Amino acid sequence: MLHILFVCHGNICRSTMAESVLSDMIDKRGLTEKIAVSSAATHTDEIGSPPHVGTQRKLRQMNIPVVPHRARLLTRADGAKYDFIIGMDEANLRNMRRILGEEHFPKISLLLDYTASPRAIADPWYTGNFDETFNDITEGLEGFLQFLNEQGLLD
Per the residue annotation, which of 8, 13, 89, 136 is the catalytic one? 8
Per the residue annotation, which of 13, 14, 24, 89 is the catalytic one? 14
3-class secondary structure for the chain? CEEEEEEECCCCCHHHHHHHHHHHHHHHCCCCCCEEEEEEECCCCCCCCCCCHHHHHHHHHCCCCCCCCCCCECCCCHHHHCCEEEECCHHHHHHHHHHHCHHHHHHEEEHHHHCCCCCCCCCHHHHCCHHHHHHHHHHHHHHHHHHHHHCCCCC
Q: Distance (Å, rounded) from C-alpha 124 to C-alpha 80?
A: 30
Per the residue annotation, which of 24, 78, 89, 123 is the catalytic one? 123
14 is catalytic: yes
131 is catalytic: no
Which residues are known to be catalytic?
8, 14, 123
